[in-house]
Amino acid sequence: MEYIVKFIESIQRTPSAISYRFSRPAGFSFAPGQYMIVNLAEDLVHPLSLSDTPDQKGFIEFTKRMTSSAFCRKLQDLTAGDQIKVKGPIGRFTLDGADKSLVFLAGGIGITPIRSILRTLAARQDPPENTVLIYGNVNGADIAFRSDLEEISLPGYRVVHVLTDPEGVPGASQGFISSEVIGREAMDLKSATFMVSGPPVMVEAMKKNLAGLDIDGNRIRTDIFLGYED
Ligand SMILES: Cc1cc2nc3c(=O)[nH]c(=O)nc-3n(C[C@H](O)[C@H](O)[C@H](O)COP(=O)(O)OP(=O)(O)OC[C@H]3O[C@@H](n4cnc5c(N)ncnc54)[C@H](O)[C@@H]3O)c2cc1C
């Protein structure tokens, strides 16, 4: 379905990530983890994940890692009431009712669909038995939605920060998300579902890590943010 939506406001999440909120079309619904095709103008069209939960009544939200692109310049020029086109929802990076144990692996801006999923899970009557988020970023300032994610309440839930520069983030691991980190932090390695979201290089690296831990491909769901090289 295609909709015309109106820009409401933007929220700076980190020095390089901004959320953009638009009016919510009547009757619109989506599954957490899905994305929309966001059309700002001819040739300025990108898929963006819905970063807040389906139960938000007044708005839909996307969160963009800002670059010097024409698409980002156009986003930054929006003023309240401006209209854009969005198409969707699309995507299968979503929950399956049978998931008992979930391990989320997020790389940078790849957190957007996972934030929507985690907040939705926290509101459910029958949450999974175990949920862990392993979240890779460059440094503490780059962690989008940090307090939201750390405040989520779910059985066995915790956030493991993995940072190139961990200064100022207590308990963070230094480096990249490795098979050692996954093996140490993931509960139920033998049965958990792994949901991986991030730029292509990150998702490829995680697939290798998971293969190294003998995790079968049918327990891995991926969301690949094409368009980023790092
Ligand atoms: C399913 C999905 C969900 C996404 N969700 C988010 C999100 O929530 N937040 C976010 O910041 N980004 C998300 N992205 C990435 C986003 O769509 C843009 O591709 C990316 O942000 C780069 O756009 P840009 O405006 O910064 O740079 P641009 O200069 O517009 O693009 C950078 C380069 O990548 C190429 N490129 C751009 N988009 C694509 C594409 N879809 N496929 C192949 N090549 C492409 C361009 O041709 C250009 O060479 C998502 C991508 C996908 C596929």
Residue 192 predicted with pLDDT over 90: yes
Contact 145 CB / ligand 1 (< 6 Å):
no
N-terminal to C-terminal alpha carbon distance within the chain: 32
Query: pLDDT digits over 111-151, tens only?
Result: 999 999 999 999 998 899 999 999 999 999 999 999 999 99
Topology of the domain covering 2-90: Elongation Factor Tu (Ef-tu); domain 3 (2.40.30)
Contact 37, 50 (CB under 8 A): no
Spell out a b/e string for 7-32, using b for 16 or more CB atoms within 10 Å of the CB, else e.
Answer: bbebeebbebbbbbbbbbeeebebbb
Domain boundaries, the chain: 2-90, 101-224
Which tokens belong to 117?
């999923």
**Fold for domain 101-224?**
Rossmann fold (3.40.50)
In angstroms, what is the span from residue 110 Cα to ligand 1's centroid?
11
Tens of pLDDT, residues 60-103: 999 999 999 999 999 999 999 999 999 999 999 999 988 999 99
Reply yes or no: is the peptide bond before residue 89 cis, omega within 30 of 0: yes
Pocket flag, ligand 1, residue 200 (CB < 6 Å): no
Confidence of residue 212 (pLDDT cuts 50, 70, 90): very high
% of the chain residues with pLDDT over 70: 100
The verdict on pTM exceeding 0.85 is: yes
Q: What is the dihedral of CA 90, 93, 94, 97, to 10 degrees?
A: 130
Residues 30-42 pLDDT 10s: 999 999 999 999 9
Is 217 touching ligand 1 by the criterion CB < 6 Å? no
Spacing, Cα 14 to ligand 1 middle (Å): 18
Q: Measured between alpha carbons, how far is 199 from 203 in angstroms, rounded to an integer?
A: 6
